[in-house]
A and B are shown apart, each in its own frame.
Chain A
Amino acid sequence: MTQNAQFFLFLSLLASIVLHWEHLPWWSLALSACAMAWRFAVYIFNFHLPGPWIKGLAVLSGFTGVYLTFGWQPSIESMVALLVTGVALKPLEVQKAKDSYLLVFLCFMVQGMHFLFEQEPLDYLLVLGCFILSLQGLFSLHHGSPSAAKGLGSIKYGTKIFWMSLPLALVFFFVLPRLGPLWTLNIKTEANRIGLSESMSPGDISNLGRNTELAFRVQFSSEAVPLMSERYWRALVLDYYDGVTWSMKFREGRVNKESLAGSTTVYQYRVTQPANDQRWLFSLEKSVPMTSGIDVSKSGFFTRRVRNIAPVQFDAYTTQQGKAVTRLEMMEQYAYLQLPASVNPKARQLAQGLAVTHQGELDIDATLSSFAQYIVVEPFSYTLNPGEMTSDSRVDEFLFDRQQGFCAHYAGSLVFMLRSLGVPSRVVVGYLGGEYNRVSGDYSIYQYDAHAWVEYWNNGWNRVDPTGWVSPERVDQGLEASVDDFAGFSSSIPWINDLRQQMQALNYYWQDWMLEYKGEKQQALLSAITGQSDPSRSAYIIGVVILGITGLLIVWLTLSGRESRSYEQKLHRYLLTKAEKKGAQVTPGMTPATIFALTQCHRSNEVRSLIQEWNGYLYSEGHRGMGWRDYRTMKRRINQLLD
């Protein structure tokens, strides 16, 4: 192995590992760093490779680390940690050429694995960079060159192979059909767990409010777009309260989608959400899905039948009325009135005090107004840093002691009070708002747009958002406007905002084309190219085209494998075969004059003039070389002479 090859193998390995530094546990990074440092010492100072004991110890500690960090349950993270650590240790025993190949191939795998975690355009570029390094490593295993290019300068060879492979790779990508998962994956990923969870503990410290990651994005295809204060993206219902945490216990039944359709469309939209390993989807109230594979619950929540292990995109529209639910089942009554016994006595008392009854029956709307009145009059405030709550009666603590909190506190307290009055109600979590991107025309909903509000039963489910009582800005203008210490990325400088939006738009196009290019999109593109609406026909046409391209490639290879000859050489060759046919014993090295002499052609004058002219093409001063026309006439003359 040459120094150059070692250099590139080392570099590509290093780059592939650094690529993963965010998803790797610290011990894996440390172990990799040690192994790499050792290898580097071998490379630079001729240090000796570790003995079997040290190698064994390293491997053992790698396995132990994986077990201690991730347990026995395999996950993508643990697999990647194991793979990367193994690959990092591999150079300590690279002795033979075969090991080097294996090392490069493992680097390819490690690079590909990066996409299981990160899917931004920048990540793609990084991976491609590493890929070129590895390619160069593979290449320099075979490349001995007289040219002086060594070190990083010689990377142009690897780059060249990359560029040469790109067109075919694009064809593969756009044409190859995407299959469904070949088998069910039981391996969980811990990535993308950020975002909503299936529980909410108002008192615990929250950090979702500060997360500037994209939760999902929406494109409205209808003319009308709901106001920000109407863009409640519903995801989950939390129905069960144990005194600390709201969680999901009760599951609503599904409805037949046909029963939803038919009413007039108000908004139509397309949601693109990244993989989150959950089943729920984000939708507006009264929505009907247009994409298959989505279940709709009785009160209009969307879920998918499989978990979102990949980014999801779906279309939906909202209707005027939605599905009228007129009656609560017994089980629902029970679930939406559940309360833990004997906590928050003061909150119950307050609810009783604020309740408005009309002719002996509870007037729910009036009661809600008086609740709102209470919140507005009392010194309640909206903050993302309410501090941790510790008492057993957290609702009491919030309502009477702290009086500051965010959506979860207000929503949780309201549901508690409503239920204590016997009104079936529930906490709904999702997102509120979204930022409009002028470049792409999309609405981006970030993790900090996460929100919780309340739905109560009053001859049907109604929405009320208690956060709006204390902080109307949160509802109308979004989180940025409602907190002072917002740590998001919106800048007061306009051009920075513009730049950010442009970057985002790029990101969205990337998502639409790279991440989402499959299924219907692929069919649409292919049929646009082939002009066939039938996917199997367009696949057929594309297949023929690919075969054609392959055929052309083979022809090209065949032709390029031939010697490319000048017309002089061609003519010489022609004369040779001609003379051979006449029975002359000729060899390729002979001059035309000799060949003619051997053919015993008697028209010596003509032969002489022909040869003179021939030599003129080759040797005369300022010779112009033989053109196609000259070649034709000369060939004809040879024919005349030798036939």
Chain B
Amino acid sequence: MLNIRQSTKAWFDSWLKKRLPVNQHVTLNHKNIFIFPNRIGFLYLAIVLFMFVNSINYQNNLLFSFSCLLASVFVTSIALTYQNIAKLVVSTAATPDMFSGERAQVNIRLEAPSGLLKHGFNVRVQGSDPIFVDWLSGSEALALPFKAKKRGRLTLPRICIESVYPLGLIRTWTYVHLACEAFVYPKPIEHRRLASDWQAEGDSELEVEEGASQVKGVPDDFVGLRNYQAADSLKHVSWKHYAKTGELMTKEFVSREGSKRWLDWYALDGIDEETRLGILTYWAIEAERGGELFGLRLPSDVVPQGQGYEHLTQCLRLLACWPNGR
């Protein structure tokens, strides 16, 4: 039973995907608009039927004509409801990156064809709260509430636009599948593993000059080994390891220097990947907030130390897409 339901849903999804392909902007027309009476519409039909039956039973032609009028209003309402939403252009607008699980927003742009006024419709990202647009003329940007569940490149669920204008008897709706250029960062996780040393030296050694640490030989915390890279200082090569295995490995430290540090993947040994990403995200933000220089080291990529919003974004996007890179 469950299987049937699942396969039906999968079939419907793939059908929708084919019918409503992902696009930068979508014009609503007969190909992507669905239309059907809603519950109120069926109540209306029941009342019209009741009046038809009465007119027949009482052989009352005027009541009959009135019922015809009511029936005709229903048909007109189908056309009007359709026309209201047709020709509407939905396109993506620049959407800021967001954290997974956070209340965020997706920006889209709605555009009514020139000279036309579109009325009363709901817009929502599937699974989120709708936004009601009372009327629309010209072009308007819309911020839809949205909560991303998975980190990575943002794949928007279908956006549903629905309307019962003008009489509320007919519901017309459409799903728009928009491509979106935004990233979902991992959910920040506060963790002491990186925090303790961070906090400790952050206060005490604030005056330490940039780039001085290695010269001064301030002891850093050893966190692990990684493959040697050409840029690595020979001081950090684990010669013990080399003696044993013949491989050049670099010892990893979390830097203890004041406002200059590395957020290192390997510093979080023993923690599962997603949590590690969360912790790194958290500290990247904290570092940026503290106005510190920081770099990010992931097994696949290294972001050199830096500062500023751009830098933070670069790091966070890397974390979001790990292990696929950008």
Q: Is residue A142 contacting chain B, with contact meaning CB distance below 8 A?
A: yes
Q: Is residue A166 contacting chain B, with contact meaning CB distance below 8 A?
A: yes
CA distance A131 to B67 in the complex (A): 12
Q: How far is the CB of A517 from chain B (nearest CB, A)?
A: 6
1/0 per residue, CB under 8 A from B, across A576-589: the answer is 00000000000100
Name the residue of chain B whose CB is nearest to the CB of A515: B61
Q: Using A561-B82, A563-B113 as known contacts, say yes or no to A310 and B59 having CB atoms under 8 A apart.
A: yes
Q: How far is the CB of B94 from chain A (nearest CB, A)?
A: 15
B47 touches A135 (CB 8 A): no
Cβ-neighbour of B72 out of A98, A108, A141, A165 (below 8 A): A165
A181 touches B70 (CB 8 A): no
A173 touches B64 (CB 8 A): yes
A143 touches B57 (CB 8 A): no
Cβ-neighbour of A557 out of B30, B67, B164 (below 8 A): B30
A561 touches B86 (CB 8 A): yes
Cβ-neighbour of B71 out of A131, A167, A169, A557 (below 8 A): A169
Name the residue of chain A whose CB is nearest to the CB of B29: A561
Q: Report how many residues on chain A are interfacial, defined by Cβ distance under 8 Å.
A: 59
CA distance A164 to B56 in the complex (A): 25
Q: How far is the CB of B26 from chain A (nearest CB, A)?
A: 12
B40 touches A561 (CB 8 A): no
Chain B residues with Cβ under 8 A from A172's Cβ? Answer: 68, 71-72
Name the residue of chain A whose CB is nearest to the CB of B121: A142
Chain A residues with Cβ under 8 A from B119's Cβ? Answer: 142-145
Cβ-neighbour of A115 out of B62, B83, B167 (below 8 A): B62
Q: Is residue B69 contacting chain A, with contact meaning CB distance below 8 A?
A: yes
Q: Is residue A161 contacting chain B, with contact meaning CB distance below 8 A?
A: yes
B29 touches A161 (CB 8 A): no
Q: Is residue B20 contacting chain A, with contact meaning CB distance below 8 A?
A: no
Q: Is residue B60 contacting chain A, with contact meaning CB distance below 8 A?
A: yes
Name the residue of chain A whose CB is nearest to the CB of B43: A105
CA distance A167 to B71 in the complex (A): 12
Name the residue of chain B whose CB is nearest to the CB of A139: B166
1/0 per residue, CB under 8 A from B, across A103-123: the answer is 001001101110110010000
Q: Is residue B310 contacting chain A, with contact meaning CB distance below 8 A?
A: no
Chain A residues with Cβ under 8 A from B56's Cβ? Answer: 178-182
Q: Is residue B50 contacting chain A, with contact meaning CB distance below 8 A?
A: yes
Q: Is residue B208 contacting chain A, with contact meaning CB distance below 8 A?
A: no
Stretch at the interface among B1-9, B73-81, B224-232: B73-81
CA distance A173 to B70 in the complex (A): 11
Q: How far is the CB of B63 from chain A (nearest CB, A)?
A: 5
Q: Is residue A326 contacting chain B, with contact meaning CB distance below 8 A?
A: no
A161 touches B73 (CB 8 A): yes
Q: Is residue A101 contacting chain B, with contact meaning CB distance below 8 A?
A: yes
CA distance A91 to B120 in the complex (A): 24
A178 touches B64 (CB 8 A): yes
B137 touches A146 (CB 8 A): yes
CA distance A162 to B68 in the complex (A): 12
Q: Is residue B15 contacting chain A, with contact meaning CB distance below 8 A?
A: no
Q: How far is the CB of B69 from chain A (nearest CB, A)?
A: 4
Q: Report how many residues on chain B are interfacial, defined by Cβ distance under 8 Å.
A: 54
Chain B residues with Cβ under 8 A from A131's Cβ? Answer: 66, 69
A185 touches B58 (CB 8 A): yes
A112 touches B83 (CB 8 A): no
Q: Using A98-B40, A168-B75 as known contacts, say yes or no to A514 and B58 having CB atoms under 8 A apart.
A: no
Q: Is residue A558 contacting chain B, with contact meaning CB distance below 8 A?
A: yes
A146 touches B59 (CB 8 A): no
Q: Using A131-B69, A142-B168 as known contacts, say yes or no to A558 and B30 having CB atoms under 8 A apart.
A: yes
Q: Using A112-B63, A561-B87 as known contacts, say yes or no to A143 and B69 having CB atoms under 8 A apart.
A: no
1/0 per residue, CB under 8 A from B, across A407-427: the answer is 000000000000000000000
Cβ-neighbour of A142 out of B57, B59, B65, B165 (below 8 A): B165
Q: Is residue B53 contacting chain A, with contact meaning CB distance below 8 A?
A: yes
Chain B residues with Cβ under 8 A from A166's Cβ? Answer: 69, 72
Cβ-neighbour of B47 out of A109, A138, A185 (below 8 A): A109
Q: How far is the CB of A505 from chain B (nearest CB, A)?
A: 19
Name the residue of chain A whose CB is nearest to the CB of B74: A165
B43 touches A144 (CB 8 A): no
CA distance A335 to B48 in the complex (A): 51
Q: Using A142-B167, A169-B71 as known contacts, say yes or no to A183 and B76 having CB atoms under 8 A apart.
A: no
Q: Using A146-B135, A168-B76, A173-B68 as known contacts, say yes or no to A182 and B166 having CB atoms under 8 A apart.
A: no
Q: Is residue B272 contacting chain A, with contact meaning CB distance below 8 A?
A: no
Question: What 16 additional pairs, Cβ within 8 angstroms, besides A124-B62, A127-B66, A166-B72?
Answer: A105-B44, A112-B67, A113-B63, A146-B117, A162-B73, A164-B80, A173-B64, A176-B68, A181-B59, A182-B56, A515-B61, A516-B61, A517-B61, A553-B79, A561-B82, A563-B87
Q: B residues touching A (Cβ–Cβ < 8 Å)?
A: 24, 27-30, 33, 40, 43-44, 47, 50-51, 53-73, 75-77, 79-80, 82-83, 86-87, 113, 117, 119-120, 134-135, 137, 164-168
16 contacts between A and B (CB under 8 A): A112-B67, A115-B62, A116-B63, A141-B168, A143-B165, A143-B166, A144-B134, A146-B137, A164-B80, A168-B76, A169-B69, A169-B71, A180-B56, A181-B58, A310-B58, A561-B28
